[in-house]
Amino acid sequence: MVNQEVMQEYANAIQNLKKQCGDAGLSEEEFRRMYFRSLKTLETAERPEVNTPRRFVTKFRVLLVGIIIGVYIVLNHKTIYSSIVCNLQEYIYPGLKLLRKISIPLISLFPSLTDFYHETCLIQNPYFAVVDMDCWPCSTVSNIREVNDPIPVSQQQTAPFIYETEQQVINMEALKKMYLRNRDTFDKESPKILTNNKYHSSPKDLFIDRPIEDKSFYVWKFNNMNVAKVLRQVIPRPKVVPKFGQSTERFIIVDTSHQKFNIPDTECSFSFLLALSGSREINLVPAEECKHQCKSLKVELKETYLLWYNWWYWRPVVQNSMGNHTFIAHVGSYC
């Protein structure tokens, strides 16, 4: 009964609206189109309310499936990881090759990004420590011995030693001539020199614009084959380093400050420090993991002498100097 009354009121309202539209000059066909258009508007407006419960149920199902998958992955992560690694082995190289091609436009826009191509580690962790490290190779060493006729070392040789090389003395003037002869190569391949462990300068700042009374510490890093070939012409491979296995990464250290500084860690653990000009006292400090079992060792590194050590157990520190001579050294490593 109530529904019939509502429908009757609705019909009367439509008749009144039709009469008013007719009085306003609207034809019956125009009223009909306007009426059905209004019904479509009401249908569209009411549809979200009808679908709201269905959408809620769909979202709940998706969330529930996601939780189940997450729990399954956590409980079986080792099996899933092993399966993925085994199945993706064949696609690693093609994938990296594709990624390299995709990155070519980005490299073309920002060429400086290629400086990081040869870096094995962009950021070092100063708090890294090896748990339960075996320190017996350094615990039995009490001094740094001098070798008269060194031979290429094996990977079992962990005890540090020094010997006099046949290296020609390379002072600042000789270093400058080497740079000027190969300026294009150095400026392109190794354009940055770490100065005083604070900021980077250019080779031009070191060899051309450097003040006469400069008191600074420079670390010039090289990590590519083109520069390695240039350095090999003036700094031949030391006879203690095997013919194959020398790292491409090298350092040239120039110290005019006569202050204490640390020798940078190399890519390979078997390292050497070659005095190209001047002399300094070197303190081999045991690694943090072995400082309770191994001794700190000291040696005077004379001009053209080479210090062979394993930075896995010792970290070389160059001590203060009372002299006025510039200390120039070459740092390399062997794997």
Q: What is the pLDDT of residues 261-303, one digit of tens each?
A: 888 888 888 888 999 988 889 898 888 888 888 888 898 888 8
Residue 57: is its pLDDT beyond 90?
Answer: no
Distance CA 333, CA 251 (A): 10
Pair (157, 25) in one structural domain:
no
Lowest mean pLDDT among 111-125, 150-164, 312-326: 111-125
Distance CA 20, CA 32 (A): 13
Residue 81 domain flag: no
Picking from 211, 304, 319, 307, the residue whose alpha carbon sits closest to that of residue 266 is 307
Residue 99 domain flag: no
CATH classification at residue 254: 2.60.120.650
Pair (228, 314) in one structural domain:
yes
Pair (250, 162) in one structural domain:
yes
Distance CA 112, CA 196 (A): 23
Pair (162, 303) in one structural domain:
yes
Which of 25, 47, 74 is a domain's end point? 74
Question: Which three-class secondary structure state does DSSP give residue 124?
Answer: coil
Residue 112: is its pLDDT beyond 70?
Answer: no
Considering 111-120, 122-131, 213-222, the range whose residues carry the highest mean pLDDT is: 213-222
Residue 89 domain flag: no
CB 144 within 8 A of CB 284: yes
DSSP 186-239: HHHH---EEETTTEEE-HHHHHTS--TT---EEEEEE-SHHHHHHHHHHSPPPT
Q: What is the pLDDT of residues 234-267, one digit of tens each?
A: 888 888 888 777 788 889 999 888 888 888 888 8
Residue 63 domain flag: yes
Pair (292, 205) in one structural domain:
yes
Mean per-residue pLDDT over the chain, rounded: 80
Pair (37, 182) in one structural domain:
no
Residue 145 domain flag: yes
pLDDT interval class at 155 (50, 70, 90): low
Picking from 312, 275, 272, the residue whose alpha carbon sits closest to that of residue 290 is 312
Residue 21: is its pLDDT beyond 80?
Answer: no
Report if pTM > 0.85: no
Which of 25, 50, 74 is a domain's end point? 74
Pair (36, 148) in one structural domain:
no
Considering 11-25, 48-62, 302-316, the range whose residues carry the highest mean pLDDT is: 302-316
Distance CA 317, CA 280 (A): 10
Pair (142, 44) in one structural domain:
no
The pLDDT value given to residue 2:
54
Residue 107 domain flag: no
Lowest mean pLDDT among 24-38, 138-152, 226-240: 24-38
Distance CA 264, CA 241 (A): 19
Could you tell me what percent of the chain has a pLDDT over 70? 86
Distance CA 207, CA 219 (A): 13
Residue 164 domain flag: yes
Identify the DSSP state of 269: S
Pair (312, 164) in one structural domain:
yes
Which of 33, 51, 74 is a domain's end point? 74
Residue 46: is its pLDDT beyond 60?
Answer: no
Residue range(s) defining the domain that contains residue 165 = 136-334
Question: Which three-class secondary structure state does DSSP give residue 284?
Answer: strand
The pLDDT value given to residue 331:
92
Residue 114 domain flag: no
Site of tokens 């009121």: 9
The pLDDT value given to residue 116:
63
Residue 323: is its pLDDT beyond 90?
Answer: no
The pLDDT value given to residue 329:
92
Pair (316, 201) in one structural domain:
yes
Site of tokens 């001794």: 295
| Burial (Cβ within 10 Å: 0-12, 13-18, ≥19) of residue 264 | middle
Q: What is the identity of the amino acid at 115?
A: D
Pair (258, 146) in one structural domain:
yes
Picking from 314, 282, 311, the residue whose alpha carbon sits closest to that of residue 295 is 314
Pair (67, 183) in one structural domain:
no
Nearest-10 Cα torsion for 276, 278, 284, 287: -60
CB 313 within 8 A of CB 285: no
Average confidence (pLDDT) over 106-117 = 67
Distance CA 300, CA 26 (A): 110
The pLDDT value given to residue 279:
87
Question: Which three-class secondary structure state does DSSP give residue 172?
Answer: helix
The pLDDT value given to residue 330:
93
Average confidence (pLDDT) over 315-327 = 85
Domain count, the chain: 2
CB 312 within 8 A of CB 224: no
Residue 195: which residues within 8 A CB-CB, separation 6 or more? 201, 205, 216, 217, 218
Sheet containing strand 327-334, strands side by side: 145-146, 161-164, 305-310, 270-277, 327-334, 250-255, 217-222, 193-195, 199-201
